[in-house]
Amino acid sequence: VRRVVVVGAGMAGVQTAVALREQGFTGAIGLIGAEPHQPYDRPPLSKAVLLGNAEHSAFDVDFDALSVDLRLGREAGALRAGEHTLDTPAGPVPYDVLVIATGAEPITLPGAEGVPGVHLLRTLDDAQRLRPVLARRHRIVVVGAGWIGAEFATAAREAGCEVAVVEAADRPLPGALPAEVTAPMTRWYAEAGAELLTGARVAAVERGAVVVEGGRRLPADAVVVGIGARPATRWLAGSGIELGPDGSVTADERLRTSLPDVYAVGDCASFPSGRYGRRLLVHHWDNALQGPRTVAVGIVGADTGEGGEPGEIYDPVPYFWSEQFGRFVQYAGHHGDADALVRRGDPDGPSWSVLWLLDGVLVAVLAVGRPRDLAQGRRLIEVGARIDAERAADPAVPLKDA
Ligand code: FAD
């Protein structure tokens, strides 16, 4: 392999370039990104950058020192896999190996597109547009009580805005967590002085107001829509690459796609999890940090031609964190198939955890203000450890000893 081209200069794309050099790849690396900004980290966009406590969140990576040819402000328009060529506004770019790392794009609210004062929160530009909105202490309606909605509501309350959050489901974080663990989170909104309307669907977004089904009209100087994201893979239409029903590039266990010499990693790619016996599409930072190593090992391994299947298998324990309403919330694993739930600590208190077990084996952990539970739990999940549910229910017993 002489030339690797990476499309998408977010966490996964940048880490792929870094990992290739770490793995000893000496060929050319091109990194092509649609956004004009120096590549940056997204989590601070709903936290420090939004509140103005940090100006930006650019990665501390010296692309020149790594001999990475960084091309910003260029959106790849098409992939011609037969010719090993990527089309960009600056002309065709040939590759020996292509890595797709185009991330995800926020889902828009039907009927709200183009209405003045309606925002999304995905990019640095979005965050910079929202900063003055917070500074003016506007009345804000947030649509969606997911991770982004909760973090945005936190920042907006901190900035002194009046905040109402409209959620169609009967509870916050409906897509991520089961009802029995989100009940205390409902109270976090009220404690922070944000109004949470559950079971509430948006009927219309007008200039200056959001109307909820049933007729209630919420005044809104600004509206922030946080109803999820989908893989940014529309540009791949016509390339012949296999996409899943969720729009993800369906990678294999080594993050190779259905096209020869094309890998996919990060928010845009799903992969088969041997650990969980299903295909996973993970939209979290840690996945965009870890996946690139597998890609780099695969590319370098295929090059050295060592016998058998090249590279390593990607089968992580998914992990993410969120900072909301003054709490540090962390989750590791996948609770879908669990048959038992164990609580550690009082969910009305400042710190508590929830463990999910399957046949006595720990499969997932949610930790609120208990980072040690998360760290220990994550390791136990990785090795498939059995734990004693009764001992684990005592928050004074370290999880690793349960
Ligand atoms: P992205 O970061 O989306 O990067 C993809 C890049 O590709 C983008 O810059 C895009 O412009 C570019 N691109 C797209 N299409 C093209 C094209 N055709 N040509 C060229 N370039 C293209 N995760 C956590 O675990 N914890 C958190 O607290 C957390 N907070 C978050 C807060 C916010 C506001 C957001 C938006 C996300 C947060 N996440 C968090 C999720 C985490 O940031 C993502 O999982 C991570 O950024 C994924 O990295 P990625 O490189 O796959 O995709």
Domain stop point among 197, 225, 253 = 225
**CA distances for 103 relative to 69, 219, 234, 315, 317, angstroms:** 20, 33, 11, 19, 20
Residue 105 CA: nearest ligand 1 atom is 3
- What are the helix (H) ranges across 245-358? 285-304
281 in the same domain as 237: yes
Q: State the complex-level ipTM.
A: 0.99
> Band of the pLDDT at 305, cuts 50, 70, 90?
low
Torsion sign, CA atoms 325, 330, 335, 340: negative
Q: Amino acid identity of 307? A: G
Same domain, 153 and 209: yes
Q: Are residues 216 and 280 in the same domain?
A: no
Residue 165 domain flag: yes
Q: How far apart are CA 222 and CA 133, in angstroms?
A: 7
List, edge to edge, every strand of the sheet that includes 340-344.
Answer: 319-324, 327-333, 361-368, 352-358, 340-344
Protein residue closest via CA to atom 46 of ligand 1: 285
CB distance 41 to ligand 1 below 6 Å: no
Domain region containing 146: 108-225
Residue of the CA atom closest to atom 50 of ligand 1: 103
Q: Using most ligand atoms within 8 A of CB, pick from 14, 71, 87, 102 the residue to mutate for ligand 1.
A: 102
Question: Would residue 264 count as lying in a domain?
Answer: yes
Judged against a pLDDT cut of 80, whether residue 383 lies above it is answered with yes
Rounded alpha-carbon distances, angstroms, from residue 77 to 5, 64, 104, 271, 308: 14, 26, 16, 24, 35
In a domain, 379, yes or no: yes
Report d(CA 186, CA 255) in Å as an integer: 38
Tell me the two tokens of residue 187: 């109270």
> 72: closest CA among 40, 104, 32, 105?
32
261 lies in a domain?
yes
For a mutational test of ligand 1's pocket, the pick from 134, 230, 285, 327, i.e. the residue with the most ligand atoms closer than 8 A to its C-beta, is 285
296 in a structural domain: yes
Q: Measuring CA to CA, how many Å separate 271 from each of 140, 255, 266, 316?
A: 37, 7, 10, 10
Query: How remote is the CA of residue 188 from the centroid of ligand 1, in Å?
Result: 27
Angle at 130 between CA 125 and CA 132, to 5 degrees: 115
Residue 280 tokens read as 């996973």
Same domain, 221 and 235: no
The span from the CA of 95 to the CA of 1, in Å, is 9
Q: Which atom of ligand 1 is nearest to the CA of 42?
A: 43
Looking at the structure, do residues 127 and 218 belong to the same domain, yes or no? yes
Q: Identify the pLDDT of residue 118.
A: 97
* Alpha-carbon torsion angle 72, 311, 273, 233, nearest 10: 30
19 lines ligand 1 (CB under 6 A): no
> To 10 degrees, the CA torsion angle through 66, 71, 72, 74?
-150
Share of the chain above pLDDT 70, in %: 99
CA nearest 151: which of 393, 327, 23?
327
Burial of 42 (0-12, 13-18, 19+ CB in 10 A): buried
Q: What is the pLDDT of residue 308?
A: 55
Rounded to 5 degrees, φ, ψ at 353 are -135, 160
Are residues 193 and 115 part of one domain? Answer: yes
Kindly state the tokens that stand for 256: 């190779």
Taking CA atoms, 128 is separated from 45, 161, 309, 367, in Å, by 9, 17, 46, 31
Confirm or reject: Cβ of 284 under 6 Å from ligand 1.
yes
Domain boundary at 194, 225, 256, which?
Answer: 225
Based on the fold, state whether residues 215 and 122 are members of the same structural domain.
yes
Angle between helix 285-304 and helix 11-22 axes, rounded to 10 deg: 40
Residue nearest to atom 12 of ligand 1 (CA): 8
Residue minimizing CA distance to atom 30 of ligand 1: 43
Per residue in 164-214, pLDDT (tens digit) is 999 999 999 998 999 989 989 999 999 999 999 999 999 999 999 999 999
Residue 310, pLDDT score:
66
Pull the structure tokens for residue 291: 């996946």
Distance CA 195, CA 199 (A): 13
Which residue's alpha carbon is nearest to atom 45 within ligand 1? 284
b/e sequence 87-116, b meaning 16+ C-beta within 10 Å:
ebeeeebebebbbbbbbbbbeebeebeeee
Closest ligand 1 atom number to CA of residue 320 = 25
Residues 191, 126 share a domain: yes
Distance (angstroms) between ligand 1 centre and the Cα of 315 equals 21
CATH number of the domain to which 341 belongs:
3.30.390.30
Whether residues 170 and 154 share a domain: the answer is yes
Question: Which of 251, 274, 304 is where one domain is finished?
Answer: 304
**Counted domains in the chain:** 3
Q: What element of type H or E holds 93? A: strand 91-94
As a whole number, the mean pLDDT across the chain is: 95
pLDDT by residue (tens digit) across 331-351? Answer: 999 998 899 999 999 999 999
List alpha helices for 124-236, DSSP H: 124-135, 147-158, 179-191
The answer as to whether 157 is a domain residue is yes
Count of residues in the chain:
402
Is 316 part of a structural domain of the chain? no
Whether residue 318 lies inside any domain: the answer is no
Is 286 found in the same domain as 361? no
Same domain as 335, residue 366: yes
Question: 93 and 198, same structural domain?
Answer: no
300: domain CATH number is 3.50.50.60
In angstroms, rounded to a whole number, what is the distance separating the alpha carbons of residues 262 and 133? 42
What pLDDT does residue 286 have?
98
Other beta carbons less than 10 A from residue 336's beta carbon: 13
Can you tell me the distance from the alpha carbon of 209 to that of 225, in angstroms, rounded to the nearest whole number?
13
Of the pLDDT bands very low, low, confident and very high (cuts 50, 70, 90), residue 115 is: very high
Calculate mean pLDDT across residues 360-375.
97
Least confident of 37-46, 88-97, 137-146, 296-305: 296-305
